Structure 1
Amino acid sequence: MMSDFQRSLAVRLSRRGERSNQSNKEEGGGGALFSPSRLHSDYGIKTIWKAGFLRLLLVGGILWMLLIILALLFHVWSCQSSLSFFSAICNKEGRLYVVLDTIGFVPKPQHRCPIPVAYDPDKVLLPTSITPDSIVTNLTYITEDDDLSSNSPFPLFGGNISWSQRQESFILKPQMKVHCGFMPGGGAEMSSLDKHYVQKCKFVVATGIFDAYDQPHQPSNISKRSKNLFCFLMVVDELSLDFLRSNATVRQDSQGGDWVGIWRLILLKTPPYDEPRRNGKVPKILTHRLFPQARYSIWIDAKMELIVDPLLILERYLWRGKHTFAIAQHKHHRNIYEEADACKRRKRYARPLVDLQMKIYRYEGLEPWSIKKSTVSDVPEGAVIIREHTAMNNLFSCLWFNEVHLLTPRDQLSFGYVVDRLKGAFKVFMFQNCEYNSLFELHPHIREHSSKIEWVKSLKELKGKGESMKESRGGFGLWTPYPGDLDSVELPKVVRTSKAG
């Protein structure tokens, strides 16, 4: 009996001890928030959550990048689609394009980008022959007008071009004869010394200063080979030549030619136009007429400092792709009508006369630029022009200049029109604007040129006393009755796609 009692007591004491120990553990564990066991458990959970969040973030980022790439690929494909809904993605005036642009699916244009030029100018191979002409094989120039009637009391540099002559000049034939400036007595004469010098120039880099509103900038990074191969010609009027003699170092060579650094000065006596901006278009557009022996030319506006070797420029923009005419795309506009709107807002020429030019173009069938056109843009950045002097390119330059002579001096408005009228016969390589900005360093004008006619807002201002604001040697197409009902023409609606444009 005693033994059973002792065993029962021992069991009860044992159970009581276990319960006491268990109670002490629970009390100690429940109050100790920072116990090692509790900390180890919480740390493990936090590590799992952190790793999971990082994985989720990584997967989300990858999916977002894939979504952006797919959207961009879809955007590129849709630009080529014939379906109106998809092609609307490329329409800058459409809501869909604006939405994509807002969320960042439309890449922003760069200001500068690398130019894929050859590394060494000394290794560039020169063409052994000129590009053959298959459409226009022989081009000559009109030097005397049949119709001697004119609104001007003196000969016109660009000639007295009638609307019918203008229309006929766009009809391409193997043998062509067109107006192309340099009418006898019209101005822009070169001295015999300068004519003799440019006869040797086969490769030309040209620029020009008129009305003394720029100072010369010396090209940099020019190889010895290019210095020997190219003529660097700066065309000036007498006012600019006097300014250079007073404010720059002008040296004279043994033959009597004037130089500013690498630039050989070419003086154009008797400016052909009243408007300096229009005078500047003579060497810019009619380079082949000023320098008839040149096979290749690069035009660069005087406010720019060329920083790329000209031989590398010809190799990149002409020879590599077998092009003969290259010019940059405008940074902000593709549509001529949008460019005209910008010209009016920035007071680049009389607003009603810009509208008149656009009405003529619209009446003659010029559509606003769209992806359906063969060119990437209708509006160039005309400060740099790279060309081979083929018969077709020379014809294009003549027709382009005739528009500048007849209508407003805004050459960016007429470039795309002439390209359109030639209906694919004239081929132009329009390269990216960011490459254009990498060809030069831009310098400010000494002063901004401004004429009264640029501020005109209505035709009433050009009547009475305002008659004096009309140019006496250019723009006669703006005052010559047009053989069509321009009053019925409604210009395309312009939606401004750029604050800077």
Structure 2
Amino acid sequence: MESDLQRSVSLRASRRAERNNTQLQTKDAEGGFFSPGRFSQDYATKIIWKMGFIRLFLVGGILWMLLILIVLLFHVWSCQSSLGFFSAICKRDSKVFAVSDTMGLVPKPLHRCPIPLADDPDKIVIPKRRTPDNVVQSLSYITDDEGANNGSQSRPLFGGHQSWLQRQESFNLKSTMKVHCGFNRHGGAEMASKDIKYVEKCRFVVASGIFDGYDLPHQPSNISQRSQKLFCFLMVVDEVSIDFMKKSATVRKDNDGGQWVGIWRLILLKQPPYDEPRRNGKVPKILTHRLFPQAQYSIWIDGKMELIVDPLLVLERYLWREKHTFAIAQHKHHHSIYEEADANKRRKRYARPLIDHQMKIYLYEGMEPWSPKKKTISDVPEGAIVIREHTTLNNLFSCLWFNEVNLFTPRDQLSFGYVVYRLGGLFKFLMFPNCEYNSLFVLHPHTREHSSKVEWVKSLDEFKGNNSGLRESRGGFGLWTPYPGNLDLVVLPPVARTSKSG
């Protein structure tokens, strides 16, 4: 036993010595731990690790930026999508909007600016009395189309057959006046009895309109409980639009048979009065006081817009604070109606020769291009939002403005400044900055583009012969009725394009 133990100890000692010798030989062969070769190998390894880390950092940063860009693009696309789900996530009170805004992913439009609004809708004091009518005390309307039986038309027209003499007399302000103002008997645009009964209670109105299924109702946001109780939100539609809404949105009925999409009460106009959907849209926009005669105040917004400011704050800011009765925004690019007409022709918004004909009549009747010498800020408004108290003079202005749209082209921005000019400064209104206008709403795209054959007509010859069907059969008769003045020598003023987007 003892000899075996000694043999085992000596064997382990010899093996350990052999291993130590082998390690020393290996280190000597490699030059030792601190040899130049060993140092170079460690340095190269560190460089590789550093380069790999830098590449990983750069790739990670690029992927993060791409992720942010994808989220941002998705957000922008979803806000402008015609699909209800995607556009809904961009509501200002939605969680997606709040998170995106916190992360800085919500784009801040450069064309918007802060509006000096009051702080609390609940603290706004509503005027107890209407603004007194000092210029026109009594206004009534022509409701029988006298020209319906003159052989040129088989049925009455919504806008009537206003003669050039009647048009001229309508601009001569008197204390008592009777004018054309749409809604001639049997001319179309009738409302159902249940809707007539509903709107009779509406003193404060937010109105909009959708025709031919071009839009879906967009729910207003940031609306206080007080405004929800005070205002009627009325969406004027035709049959085509209401059928489209039933397929693309939730239309509910109340106990009285009224139809609703969210906060909007749908007001159906039976038998649209015009062939052109754009012209039909001018009925609720301009003749709000005729559709809703009990209303004292109204805010009109186009159907493609989502109101994002409490309507009480709007009335306080633009009417009550400085005692205005009519407010509309300034156009972003144009000041002169001749600039606006040129832009309409370039964008094919209506037949070019008919726009020229309207502009020649206005120039012949003394409407000069806008200049800083004029008392008005601009002759061209952004008409997508109109804020007004329904005073007698404002109602008259709306009638005269509508008559121009009925007689000529449906481009109402061309005729607004002209009617202001014809009233000789007696019609007072506020034209507020365009950037404030853009801060009142979120703009959504149409569900489809407007289309009309007349928009592409380049010469009057195209209306002759077999193409006479291009003429609208119920509007625009002032473009075809012989004008009492000589327009042959009228030359439209040259227009310098001031903006690429204008």
TM-score, L = length of structure 1: 0.78
Residue 87 of structure 1 is matched in structure 2 by none
Q: Pairwise mapping of residues 447-486 of structure 1 onto structure 2 (< 5 A)?
A: 447-486=448-487
Look up the SS of the partner of 1:264 in the other structure. Answer: strand
Partner residue, 2:111: 111
- Secondary structure of 2:270's counterpart equals coil
Whole-Å Cα distance in 2 between the matches of residues 428 and 334 of structure 1? 16
**CA-CA distance at 1:326 after TM superposition:** 0.2
Matches within 5 A, 1:70-469: 111-147=111-147, 148-149=149-150, 151-469=152-470
Unaligned runs of at least 5 residues, structure 2: 1-108
Q: Structure 1 residue 144: deviation in Å? A: 1.6
Which secondary structure state, in structure 2, belongs to the residue aligned with residue 268 of structure 1?
A: strand
SS in 2 for 1:486: coil
Q: Measure how far apart 1:371 and its partner are.
A: 1.1
Distance 1:150 1:138 in 2: 33
Contact 2:383 2:413 in 1 (8 A): yes
Q: Do the aligned residues in 1 keep the contact of 2:141 with 2:179 (CA within 8 Å)?
A: yes
Equivalent residue letter for 1:257: G
- Show the counterpart of 1:58: none
Cα distance in 2 for residues equivalent to 1:150 and 1:267? 31
Cα-Cα RMSD: 1.0
Looking at structure 2, the residues matched to 471 and 321 of structure 1 have their Cα atoms a distance apart, in angstroms, of 42
CA distance in structure 1 between the aligned counterparts of 2:134 and 2:293, rounded to whole angstroms: 21
Structure 1 CA distance for aligned equivalents of residues 145 and 157 of structure 2? 10
Whether the aligned pair in 1 keeps the contact of 2:146 and 2:160 (CA below 8 Å) is: no
Q: Deviations for 1:279-326, whole angstroms, at most 9, x for unmatched residues? A: 000000000000000000000001010000000000000000100000
Q: State the distance in 1 between where 2:150 and 2:387 align.
A: 37
CA deviation string 1:136-187 (max 9, x = no partner): 0000000124444263322100011000000000000000000000000100
CA distance, structure 1, for counterparts of residue 211 and residue 124 of structure 2: 34
Q: Distance in 1 between matches of 2:152 and 2:229?
A: 47
Q: What amino acid maps onto 1:367 in structure 2?
A: E
Which residue of the partner structure matches residue 85 of structure 1? none
Q: Is the 8 A contact 1:218 1:305 kept in 2?
A: yes
Matched residues in 2 for 1:187 and 1:429: separation?
A: 33
Q: Structure 1: 5+ residue runs without aligned partners?
A: 1-108
Q: Deviations over 1:228-267 (max 9, x none)?
A: 0000000000000111111110111111100000000000
Match of 2:66 in 1: none
In the alignment, the residues of structure 1 paired with residue 158 and residue 471 of structure 2 have an alpha-carbon distance, to the nearest angstrom, of 17
Q: Contact 2:112–2:438 at 8 Å: present in 1 too? A: yes
> 2: CA distance between counterparts of 1:110 and 1:440?
14
Distance of 2:269 and 2:291 partners within structure 1:
10
In 1: Cα distance, 2:151 partner to 2:198 partner: 35
Deviations 1:442-471 (A, max 9, x none): 100000111000000100111112101100
**Structure 2 Cα separation of the partners of residues 312 and 236 of structure 1:** 27
Query: Aligned equivalents of 2:201 and 2:226: distance in 1?
Result: 16
**Matched residue, 1:78:** none
Equivalent residue runs for 1:15-54 within 5 Å: none
Which whole-Å CA distance do the structure 2 matches of 1:488 and 1:131 have between them? 45
- Aligned residue pairs: how many? 393
Amino acid in the other structure paired with 2:111: H
CA positional deviation for 1:110: 5.2
CA offsets per residue over residues 5-51 of structure 1, 9 Å max, x none? Answer: xxxxxxxxxxxxxxxxxxxxxxxxxxxxxxxxxxxxxxxxxxxxxxx
SS for the counterpart of 1:420 is: helix
**Other structure's SS at 2:298 match:** strand
Which residue does the alignment assign to 1:68?
none
Detail structure 1 runs of 4+ shifted over 3 Å in the superposition: 145-148
Which string of whole-angstrom CA distances, capped at 9 and with x for unpartnered residues, describes residues 55-79 of structure 1?
A: xxxxxxxxxxxxxxxxxxxxxxxxx
The answer (yes or no) to whether the contact 1:151–1:476 under 8 Å persists in 2 is no
Q: TM-score when scaled to structure 2?
A: 0.78
Partner of 2:43: none
Give the match's secondary structure for 2:384. strand
Counterpart secondary structure, 1:299: strand
Other structure's SS at 1:294 match: coil
Deviation, structure 1 residue 407: 0.4
Is the 2:145–2:185 contact (alpha carbons within 8 Å) kept by the matching residues of 1? no
Whether the aligned pair in 2 keeps the contact of 1:150 and 1:160 (CA below 8 Å) is no
Give % identity: 75
Contact persistence 1:382–1:412 (CA under 8 A): yes
SS in 2 for 1:165: helix
Letter in 2 for 1:390: T
SS in 2 for 1:393: helix
Distance in 1 (CA, whole Å) between partners of 2:483 and 2:489 is 13
Q: Report SS of the residue matched to 1:441.
A: strand
